[in-house]
């Protein structure tokens, strides 16, 4: 559906950003928000972005079906959009639009796209019942005079579109052409000639990568694979050299956790030229043809951390005029995941900062100002010490410190222990490293997002086995990650959080750690 048609439908409903009682300033902001929505919808439905909403298996033998974006546009053209609620708040620079989306039926799609009977071209179409509706709220924030859709709303809107098209299964009509079945792009046609697998981990220095590498190696070997596991000591050239050696040694599948997302495009191209399947493990590789990506929902990681702060401080019920101090420590700027963590958290926290409920005394808010090279504990500690010394030496209280992972949280905690004399803040983290879980137990860290790497390992091993046996490769996301080359077929696992109330159940009872390990 063209964006102009969406906007026209909105305006025809008479509900688009109602202007009752608005000042001229508010009216201008509403008009700007309309333009922003138009631009946003245009972008979502344009070119490759739109094409990814239709699963590859839905292509048919007809060339006009290969334009997936055209199929999507047709389906959406037949859908009915209506705004049920809208609001703009100039003071707090926020706005929302709630849209009701009504699914079409097969006949409507047929008449719109082909202008003839649908069954002349398709054997069968199965989809959701007609008249089923979905509601979605799109949130906007005003930044630098521009209305922007929040990351969270952008994700939800795209998921709604994806679910719409996913409920329509198209079967090719072969009466006018070859009777050969349409190949399923999700299936690897030829089994791997050898069962040698290469694993490239960034470093042994972080417990997380040491553990992941060993678990992957153990499980793959138990499945009969010959495994070469390498750690690169956080040195990019070392990782490139190790991967080149794995390619030359005949590895047919590479599992890579990149040190830097920008550094491996050439060696990945070399791998593909030799028929090697490349799986990105929890860190995506940019500007290269990637076969699969296994990771967690990293935007949700940031959301969990921020929502924990919101709930623990009671920000939604804070008395008028109450202000809480917060500082922010993000991850490695070269790690794409670090930006997802940060965005997920800031999309939750920014409204409270804008309203003055949260205040960053240091003024360091933007990602480039709060990032931490190579997730270094030492660098996080030095920066935290500087912040404490400059802004919190006269009795000021730090109420919360958002840390994107456990290694940075450890640095912040060490700085607080040395220089901070006030009430201990809420401190977030990620990975549930042993030292940090001990800090949680001892009250020095509040929570850590638990990305159970056993789940990640299990999913990766399953994917390798499917590749080796020529099975359909199971994925659950095709629209979230664009690495500069194309959208990457991905499997996203769900994270949870651990704090002093549930660590026994989640970490010990599940067998991830023993009680003795946390003493």
CA distance 129 to 108: 13
Across-strand partners of 400? 326, 426
Question: Helices (H) and strands (E) in the chain — how many of each?
Answer: 17, 18
The reply to whether 196-290+453-493 and 298-451 are identical in fold is yes
Across-strand partners of 200? 230, 256
CA distance 33 to 17: 9
Across-strand partners of 133? 102
Q: Which of the four pLDDT bands, split at 50, 70 and 90, describes residue 24?
A: low
Mean pLDDT value across residues 102-109: 54
Q: Which of the four pLDDT bands, split at 50, 70 and 90, describes residue 80?
A: low
By C-alpha distance, which of 43, 254, 36, 65 is closest to 174? 65
Per domain, the residue ranges of the chain are: 3-172, 196-290+453-493, 298-451
Tokens encoding 334: 């070269």
What DSSP state is assigned to residue 507?
Answer: I
Task: Work out the mean pLDDT of the chain and round it to a whole number.
Answer: 79
> For the whole model, what pTM was predicted?
0.55
Tokens encoding 7: 């906007």
- Please report, for residues 259, 404, 464, 495, 519, the alpha-carbon distance to residue 458 in angstroms, rounded to integers and kept in the order given: 22, 24, 10, 15, 28
Mean pLDDT value across residues 145-156: 76
Mean pLDDT value across residues 490-515: 94
Mean pLDDT value across residues 2-22: 36
**pLDDT for residue 421 is more than 50:** yes
**pLDDT for residue 492 is more than 90:** yes
Mean pLDDT value across residues 43-54: 44
Q: Which of the four pLDDT bands, split at 50, 70 and 90, describes residue 395?
A: confident
Q: Which one of 3.10.310.10, 1.20.1260.10, 3.40.50.300, 3.40.50.2300 gives the CATH number of domain 298-451?
A: 3.40.50.2300
Mean pLDDT value across residues 101-105: 58
Alpha carbons within 13 angstroms on the beta-carbon side of residue 93 total 17
Alpha carbons within 13 angstroms on the beta-carbon side of residue 162 total 16
Class of CATH domain 196-290+453-493: alpha beta
**pLDDT for residue 183 is more than 70:** no
Mean pLDDT value across residues 420-436: 94
Q: What share of the chain is helix, strand, coil (3-state, %, to 5)?
A: 45, 20, 35
CA distance 489 to 481: 8
Across-strand partners of 227? 197
CA distance 81 to 83: 7
What is the four-CA torsion angle of 152, 156, 161, 164, rounded to 10 degrees? 170
Helical residues (DSSP H) of 325-482, grouped into ranges: 336-354, 367-370, 377-391, 406-419, 434-441, 453-468
Radius of gyration of the chain (CA): 25
CB 258 within 8 Å of CB 280:
yes
* Digit-coded pLDDT (tens) for 376-387: 999 999 999 999
Match 């940075």 to its residue by tokens.
408
At 157 the pLDDT is 72
Query: What is the percentage of the chain residues whose pLDDT exceeds 90?
Result: 57
Alpha carbons within 13 angstroms on the beta-carbon side of residue 21 total 4
Query: What is the percentage of the chain residues whose pLDDT exceeds 70?
Result: 71
Look at 82-91, 121-130, 243-252, 484-493 and tell me which has the smallest mean pLDDT.
121-130
* Digit-coded pLDDT (tens) for 312-371: 999 999 999 999 999 999 999 988 889 999 999 999 999 999 999 999 999 999 999 999
CA distance 251 to 277: 9
CA distance 301 to 494: 9
- Greater pLDDT, 44 or 203: 203
Q: Which of the four pLDDT bands, split at 50, 70 and 90, describes residue 18?
A: very low
At 150 the pLDDT is 82
At 327 the pLDDT is 98
Across-strand partners of 135? 100
Cβ burial, residue 511 (10 Å; 0-12/13-18/19+) = exposed
* Digit-coded pLDDT (tens) for 219-253: 999 999 999 999 999 999 999 999 999 999 999 99
* Digit-coded pLDDT (tens) for 437-475: 999 999 999 999 998 889 999 999 999 999 999 999 999
Q: Which of the four pLDDT bands, split at 50, 70 and 90, describes residue 194?
A: low
At 135 the pLDDT is 67
């Amino acid at each position: 559906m063209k964006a102009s048609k969406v906007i026209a439908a909105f305006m025809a409903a008479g509900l688009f950003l109602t202007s009752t009682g608005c000042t001229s300033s508010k009216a201008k902001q509403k008009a700007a928000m309309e333009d922003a929505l138009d631009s946003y919808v245009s972008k979502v439905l344009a070119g490759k972005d739109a094409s990814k909403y239709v699963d590859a298996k839905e292509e048919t033998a007809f060339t006009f079906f290969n334009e997936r974006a055209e199929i999507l546009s047709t389906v959406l053209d037949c859908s009915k959009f209506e705004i049920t609620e809208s609001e703009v708040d100039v003071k707090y620079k926020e706005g929302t639009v709630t849209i009701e989306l009504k699914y079409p039926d097969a006949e409507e799609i047929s008449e719109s796209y082909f202008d003839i009977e649908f069954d002349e071209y398709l054997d069968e179409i199965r989809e959701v019942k007609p008249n089923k509706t979905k509601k979605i709220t799109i949130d906007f924030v005003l930044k630098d005079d521009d209305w922007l859709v929040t990351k969270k709303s952008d994700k939800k809107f795209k998921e709604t579109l994806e679910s719409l098209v996913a409920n329509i299964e198209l079967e090719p009509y072969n009466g006018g052409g070859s009777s050969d079945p349409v190949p399923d792009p999700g299936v690897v046609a030829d089994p791997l000639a050898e069962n040698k697998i290469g694993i490239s981990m960034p470093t042994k220095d972080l417990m997380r990568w040491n553990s992941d590498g060993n678990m992957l190696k153990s499980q793959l070997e138990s499945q009969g694979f010959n495994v070469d596991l390498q750690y690169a000591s956080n040195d990019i050239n070392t990782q490139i050299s190790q991967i080149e050696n794995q390619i030359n040694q005949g590895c047919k599948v590479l599992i890579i956790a990149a040190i830097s997302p920008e550094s491996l495009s050439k060696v990945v191209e070399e791998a593909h030229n030799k028929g090697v399947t490349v799986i990105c493990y929890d860190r995506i590789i940019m500007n290269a043809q990637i076969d699969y990506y296994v990771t967690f929902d990293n935007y949700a990681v940031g959301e969990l951390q921020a929502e924990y702060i919101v709930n623990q401080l009671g920000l939604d019920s804070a008395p008028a005029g109450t202000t809480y101090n917060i500082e922010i420590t993000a991850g490695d700027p070269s790690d794409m995941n670090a930006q997802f963590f940060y965005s997920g958290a800031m999309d939750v926290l920014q409204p409270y900062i804008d309203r003055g409920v949260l205040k960053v005394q240091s003024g360091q808010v933007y990602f480039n100002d709060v990032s931490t090279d190579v997730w270094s504990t030492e660098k996080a500690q030095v920066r935290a010490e500087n912040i404490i010394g400059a802004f919190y030496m006269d009795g000021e209280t730090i109420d919360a410190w958002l840390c994107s992972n456990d290694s940075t949280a450890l640095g912040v905690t060490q700085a607080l222990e040395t220089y901070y004399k006030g009430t201990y803040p809420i401190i977030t983290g990620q990975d549930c490293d042993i030292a940090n879980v001990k800090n949680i137990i001892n009250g020095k860290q509040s929570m850590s997002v638990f990305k159970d790497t056993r789940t990640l390992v299990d999913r990766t091993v399953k994917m390798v086995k499917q590749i080796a046996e020529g099975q359909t490769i199971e994925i659950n996301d095709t629209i979230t990650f664009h690495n500069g080359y194309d959208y990457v077929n991905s499997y996203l696992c769900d994270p949870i959080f651990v704090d002093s109330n549930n660590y026994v159940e989640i970490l010990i009872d599940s067998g991830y750690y023993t009680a003795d390990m946390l003493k």
